[in-house]
């Protein structure tokens, strides 16, 4: 029972506005979640999948116009416009509250309001933050129960007076004209309406853990980042941890669950997964940076996930998973998506619910941004440290994007501030994870463009300030697994072989290999990347590492254009840009 008066007052106020038939507090018990699941099955909101092959798994379909994050409808509501900055949509809090109150009025009439007490991070740890999401969607309840830590322990924290983020969601009418995902950082509040797609409605994830989280991190001296966290154990049994920031749908889940090539496996290398999407980072007493994954599950892109690309992710989805907007095999009531295997169902149903023959149809069965929502504990490679929530010391931060040209396979920043510059200047081809055109290059600093909850110039400054506070900061690297040749073929095999590049980074951290200085930063000497048992020619490696003068002249112009959005950028960044320009000119 919730005895915290401010919680009860707030829930009452929200219920008066949205007018649900009843309010149900989620206690996180299996019994209650099962009951709620039964309701979803009875109303047809969700479907049960083959319980022998996929025990505890459910199927869900969103409205066809509601299949991805909607950046145009995502707003940051701060009193002053400049606090949201030039990269966010801004509306004043008063105006947005007024507009949304009208939309929320009676939006839950005839429905149940579920109150979900949740924690991002292991309850009670230094890193953890609490939220309550009020929602009229069972899909949200069941998904939040996978993605966050839900229930009694959180209620106890609240009853002890813990601060919490006030999250309100109503699917309302799923009216795309009136869809809003609004953040009120000054009030620690998130309101989302007229969507039922994960990124817009699982408010603990991008909304709290990144947008509100980044704002809180700036105030409180920590960082909320769009990063995977990976553990690497070497042949001597030593463990190292790295974080990687990549835009949505650029392979973070695959990198986080990487399977080492046989050659490294035989030598005793082992990879474990701490997180695949979000990292919260704090400086430890020893002056190093420590990371936790605040989530409790994976909300991964289904298409492209297969036994070869990511067997661990596939295994993770075999029980207790919700599949959204994938195709169904009606013969055995299982799921299918593009590139799962070479055996699409003949008697299938596509993500829209239409009859679909995967053998003959030229249409896609699954939506390109179809997803699995799977418990982290299912993951065969999940790291022990995930469960303690204590924070792992980070040796290296990796920035990367999806870039056919220009960006080399890997380079290392000269120092922390130069690394901040590299992160601020990174760009990537857009993917199906957000509404809009796919495949256009856009600047996405630190992969946080859609997720930074305040002015990005101040966010860059925060990065620089954090660097000053660390006596032993992580080294910073930039990677590009996606560079192509003249025939548009990928030059680098990617997936498990990315370990080879990460091992070079760890050698750099230890100081056991040298490097070549380029205008971009330090690149590997080709012989220092271990390509044993990999079929790659020295010419290909050379192409992967080449700094192309003309391409970089364009790149610099693009960075200048992007930077011109900001009124004031940290001098450290503009100095680095100037230095890069001079270096490229001299090539
Ligand atoms: O849809 S989510 O924002 O949760 C996933 C992503 O786009 O990174
Ligand atoms: Mn993401």
Tell me, letter by letter, the H, E, C secondary structure of 184-212. Answer: EHHHCEEEEECCCCHHHHCCHHHHHHHHH
Atom of ligand 1 nearest to the CA of 226: 8
Residue positions forming the annotated binding site: 69, 197-199, 206, 226, 248-254, 277, 369-371, 402, 495-498
Same domain assignment for residues 418 and 290:
yes
Asked, for residue 320, whether it belongs to a domain, the answer is yes
pLDDT of residue 76: 98
Angle, helices 456-469 vs 213-220, to 10°: value is 50
> Which residue out of 207, 243, 250, 379 is catalytically annotated?
250
pLDDT of residue 307: 97
- Domain closes at, from 315, 347, 378: 378
Q: Name the residue at shortest CA distance from atom 5 of ligand 1.
A: 199
pLDDT of residue 416: 98
Same domain assignment for residues 145 and 278:
no
Distance in Å, CA 248 to ligand 2 centroid? 5
For the domain that residue 368 is a member of, what is the CATH number? 2.170.8.10
Q: Name the residue at shortest CA distance from atom 3 of ligand 1.
A: 199
Q: Name the residue at shortest CA distance from atom 2 of ligand 1.
A: 199
Please give the full DSSP string across 497-544, using - where no structure is assigned. Answer: GHHHHHHHHHHHHHT-S--EE-SSSEE--GGGS--TT----HHHHHHH
pLDDT of residue 256: 98
pLDDT of residue 453: 98
Distance in Å, CA 387 to ligand 1 centroid? 23
pLDDT of residue 19: 98
Same domain assignment for residues 354 and 419:
no
Same domain assignment for residues 442 and 538:
yes
Distance in Å, CA 122 to ligand 1 centroid? 21
The tokens for 106 are 């009676």
State the CB neighbour count (10 A cutoff) for residue 221: 13
For the domain that residue 565 is a member of, what is the CATH number? 3.90.228.20
Pocket test for ligand 1, best of 192, 248, 434, 438 (most atoms within 8 A of CB): 248
- For 136-269, list the strands marked E by DSSP: 149-150, 165-170, 180-184, 189-193, 223-225, 227-233, 239-245
Domain count, the chain: 3
pLDDT digits (tens, 9 = 90+) for 507-549: 999 999 999 999 999 999 999 999 999 999 999 999 999 999 9
The answer to whether 477 and 490 are in contact (CB under 8 A) is no
What does DSSP assign to residue 88? Answer: S
Same domain assignment for residues 465 and 342:
no
Q: Residues lining ligand 1, CB < 6 A?
A: 69, 198-199, 205-206, 248, 299, 433
pTM of the model as a whole: 0.98
pLDDT digits (tens, 9 = 90+) for 52-80: 999 999 999 999 999 999 999 999 999 99
Mean pLDDT (the chain) is 97
- Domain closes at, from 157, 192, 220: 220
Residue found by looking up tokens 């509404």 in the block: 435
Same domain assignment for residues 372 and 396:
no
Asked, for residue 60, whether it belongs to a domain, the answer is no
Same domain assignment for residues 433 and 468:
yes
Same domain assignment for residues 347 and 424:
no
- Domain closes at, from 353, 378, 403: 378
Asked, for residue 353, whether it belongs to a domain, the answer is yes
pLDDT digits (tens, 9 = 90+) for 204-233: 999 999 999 999 999 999 999 999 999 999
Which ligand is nearest the CA of 431, by number?
Answer: 1
pLDDT of residue 277: 98
Distance in Å, CA 247 to ligand 2 centroid? 7
The tokens for 313 are 């992710």
Q: How far apart are CA 201 and CA 170, in angstroms?
A: 9
Same domain assignment for residues 515 and 451:
yes
Q: How far apart are CA 493 and CA 394, in angstroms?
A: 26
pLDDT digits (tens, 9 = 90+) for 413-469: 999 999 999 999 999 999 999 999 999 999 999 999 999 999 999 999 999 999 999
**CA-based Rg of the chain, rounded to a whole angstrom?**
23
When pLDDT is averaged across residues 399-406 and rounded to a whole number, the result is 95
Give every CB contact of residue 431 below 8 A, 6+ residues apart in sequence.
Answer: 247, 248, 249, 250, 369, 402, 438
Q: How far apart are CA 270 and CA 303, in angstroms?
A: 26
**Residue 565 exposure: Cα atoms within 13 Å on the Cβ side:** 18
Residue 229, phi-psi category: left (phi > 0), alpha (psi -120 to 50), beta (remainder): beta
Which ligand is nearest the CA of 299, by number?
Answer: 1
Q: How far apart are CA 181 and CA 195, in angstroms?
A: 9
Residue positions forming the annotated binding site for substrate: 69, 197-199, 248, 369-371
Q: Name the residue at shortest CA distance from atom 6 of ligand 1.
A: 248
pLDDT of residue 182: 99
Asked, for residue 290, whether it belongs to a domain, the answer is yes
Same domain assignment for residues 366 and 391:
no
When pLDDT is averaged across residues 24-47 and rounded to a whole number, the result is 98
Residue found by looking up tokens 């600093």 in the block: 445
Angle, helices 30-43 vs 138-147, to 10°: value is 140
Pocket test for ligand 1, best of 205, 210, 370, 444 (most atoms within 8 A of CB): 205
pLDDT band at 98 (very low <50, low <70, confident <90, very high): very high
Pocket test for ligand 1, best of 206, 226, 402 (most atoms within 8 A of CB): 206
Query: What range defines the domain where residue 160 resides?
Result: 5-44+70-220
**Which residues are in the CB-under-5-Å shell of ion ligand 2?**
248, 277
Q: CA separation (Å) from 244 to 225, 254, 446?
A: 9, 12, 9
Q: Name the residue at shortest CA distance from atom 8 of ligand 1.
A: 248
pLDDT of residue 580: 98
Asked, for residue 579, whether it belongs to a domain, the answer is yes
pLDDT band at 135 (very low <50, low <70, confident <90, very high): very high
pLDDT of residue 389: 95
Distance in Å, CA 442 to ligand 1 centroid? 17
Atom of ligand 1 nearest to the CA of 277: 8
State the CB neighbour count (10 A cutoff) for residue 556: 18
Q: How far apart are CA 520 and CA 537, in angstroms?
A: 23
Asked, for residue 61, whether it belongs to a domain, the answer is no
Residue positions forming the annotated binding site for GTP: 249-254, 371, 402, 495-498
pLDDT of residue 579: 98
Asked, for residue 276, whether it belongs to a domain, the answer is yes
pLDDT band at 471 (very low <50, low <70, confident <90, very high): very high
pLDDT digits (tens, 9 = 90+) for 376-400: 999 999 999 999 999 999 999 999 9
Pocket test for ligand 1, best of 210, 211, 245, 277 (most atoms within 8 A of CB): 277
Asked, for residue 51, whether it belongs to a domain, the answer is no
pLDDT of residue 575: 98
Angle, helices 456-469 vs 416-424, to 10°: value is 160
Same domain assignment for residues 442 and 530:
yes
pLDDT of residue 32: 98
Distance in Å, CA 301 to ligand 1 centroid? 9
pLDDT of residue 2: 93
Partner residues linked to 242 by β-bridges:
230, 396
Same domain assignment for residues 118 and 148:
yes
The answer to whether 454 and 218 are in contact (CB under 8 A) is yes
Q: Does 250 qualify as catalytic in the annotation?
A: yes
Name which of 214, 228, 294, 287 is nearest 461 in CA terms: 214
Q: Name the residue at shortest CA distance from atom 1 of ligand 1.
A: 199
End-to-end Cα distance, the chain: 68
Distance in Å, CA 430 to ligand 1 centroid? 13
pLDDT of residue 224: 99
């Amino acid at each position: 029972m919730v005895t915290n008066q401010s919680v009860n007052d707030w829930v009452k106020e929200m219920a008066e506005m949205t007018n649900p038939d009843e309010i149900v507090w989620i206690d996180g018990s299996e019994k209650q979640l099962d009951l709620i699941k039964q309701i979803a099955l009875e109303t047809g909101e969700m479907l049960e999948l083959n319980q022998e092959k996929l025990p505890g798994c459910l199927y869900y379909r969103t409205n066809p116009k509601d299949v991805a994050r909607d950046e145009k409808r995502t707003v940051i509501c701060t009193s002053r416009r400049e606090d949201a900055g030039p990269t966010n949509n801004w509306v004043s809090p008063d105006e947005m509250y007024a507009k949304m109150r009208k939309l929320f009025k009676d939006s839950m009439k005839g429905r149940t309001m579920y109150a979900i007490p949740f924690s991002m991070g292991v309850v009670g740890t230094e890193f953890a933050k609490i939220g309550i999401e009020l929602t009229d969607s069972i899909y949200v309840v069941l998904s939040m129960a996978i993605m966050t830590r839900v229930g009694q322990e959180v209620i106890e924290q609240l009853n002890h007076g813990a601060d919490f983020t006030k999250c309100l969601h109503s699917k309302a009418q799923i009216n795309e004209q009136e869809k809003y995902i609004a953040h009120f950082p000054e009030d620690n509040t998130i309101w989302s309406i007229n969507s039922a797609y994960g990124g817009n409605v699982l408010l603990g994830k991008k909304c709290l853990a990144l947008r509100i989280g980044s704002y809180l991190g700036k105030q409180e001296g920590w960082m909320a980042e769009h990063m995977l966290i990976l553990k690497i154990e070497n042949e001597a049994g030593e463990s190292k941890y790295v974080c990687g920031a990549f835009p949505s749908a650029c392979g973070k889940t695959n990198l986080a669950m990487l399977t080492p090539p046989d050659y490294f496996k035989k030598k005793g290398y082992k990879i474990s997964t701490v997180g695949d999407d979000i990292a919260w980072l704090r400086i430890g007493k020893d002056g190093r940076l420590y990371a936790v994954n605040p989530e409790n599950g994976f909300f991964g892109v289904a298409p492209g996930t297969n036994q070869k690309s990511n067997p661990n992710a596939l295994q993770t989805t075999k029980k207790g998973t919700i599949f959204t907007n994938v195709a169904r095999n009606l013969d055995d009531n299982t799921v299918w998506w593009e590139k799962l295997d070479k055996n699409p169902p003949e008697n299938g149903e596509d993500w829209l619910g239409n009859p679909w023959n995967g053998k003959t149809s030229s249409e896609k069965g699954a939506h390109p941004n179809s997803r699995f929502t799977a418990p982290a504990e299912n993951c065969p490679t999940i790291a022990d440290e995930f469960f303690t929530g204590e924070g792992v010391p980070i040796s290296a931060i990796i920035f990367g994007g999806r870039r056919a040209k220009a960006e080399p396979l890997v380079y290392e920043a000269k120092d922390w501030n130069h690394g901040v510059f590299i992160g601020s200047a990174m760009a990537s081809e857009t993917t199906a994870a957000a509404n809009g055109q796919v495949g256009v290059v856009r600047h996405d600093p630190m992969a946080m463009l859609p997720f930074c909850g305040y002015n990005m110039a101040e966010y860059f400054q925060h990065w620089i300030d954090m660097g000053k506070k660390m006596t032993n900061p992580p080294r910073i690297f930039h990677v590009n697994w996606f560079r192509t040749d003249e025939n548009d073929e990928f030059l680098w095999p990617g997936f498990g072989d990315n370990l080879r590049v990460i091992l070079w980074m760890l050698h750099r951290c230890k100081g056991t290999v040298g490097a070549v200085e380029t205008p971009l930063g330090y690149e590997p000497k080709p012989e220092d990347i271990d390509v044993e048992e990999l079929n790659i020619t020295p010419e290909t490696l050379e192409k992967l590492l080449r700094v192309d003068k003309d391409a970089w002249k364009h790149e610099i112009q693009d960075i200048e254009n992007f930077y011109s959005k900001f009124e004031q950028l940290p001098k450290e960044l503009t100095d680095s840009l100037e230095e890069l320009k001079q270096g490229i000119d001299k090539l």
